[in-house]
Amino acid sequence: MLEINDLNYLAILLAVLVNVGVGSWWYSPAGFGKKWTKYSKVDMMKSPKQETQRAIAVVFIGAIIQAVVLAVVLKSIQADTITEGLITSFILWLGFVAATSIGDDLYSRKGWSYWWINASFFLVTMLVNGAIIAVLQG
């Protein structure tokens, strides 16, 4: 049964901040931003301000949803160690991020490099967040 009661909202907030913080670097010119721009053919620095703000808001909402869902899954399976958080997060990433995004990215001719930049961002953030949430929520 899914456990939606007694979630640790501090852990969820921390996970959201990790997601946003890592994403800010990941998609910046210092991270993988130049390559992402090349592969996606989207330059957020040249996008209209309103469009960029809307995209950032949607990403933030997605980070909240991802953290809450991860917290529910980890609570439901009673994962309360770093190892359990990491393994569960990896399995969720593999089944729900990697497997579902690969077809879309390749079908839209974005290529393996574009897929890997995005998929590995979610791998990193989900692993870190899984460890954080499992330990703080346990």
pLDDT tens track for 98-121 = 999 998 888 888 889 999 999 999
pTM of the predicted protein model: 0.91
Q: Burial level of 24, CB count in 10 A (0-12/13-18/19+)? A: middle
Phi-psi region of 41 (alpha: psi -120 to 50; beta: other; left: phi over 0): left
**Choice between 54 and 3, residue whose per-residue pLDDT is larger:** 54
Give the Cα separation of 77 and 92 in Å (integer).
13
Residue that wins the pLDDT comparison between 104 and 18: 18
3-state helix, strand, coil in the chain (%, to 5): 80, 0, 20
Is the pLDDT score of 44 beyond 90? no
Please give the Cα distance from 114 to 123 (Å, whole number): 14
Predicted confidence (pLDDT) per residue in 68-92, tens digit: 999 999 999 999 999 999 999 999 9
CA distance 115 to 77: 30
- pLDDT for residue 3 is more than 80: no
CB 8 within 8 A of CB 71: yes
Mean pLDDT of 50-71: 94
Residue 54: name the closest of 64, 69, 65, 44 by CA. 44
d(CA 104, CA 82): 32
- Per the model's pLDDT, the better-predicted residue between 123 and 47 turns out to be 123
Q: What is the mean pLDDT of the chain?
A: 93
- Kindly state the tokens that stand for 127: 């692993």
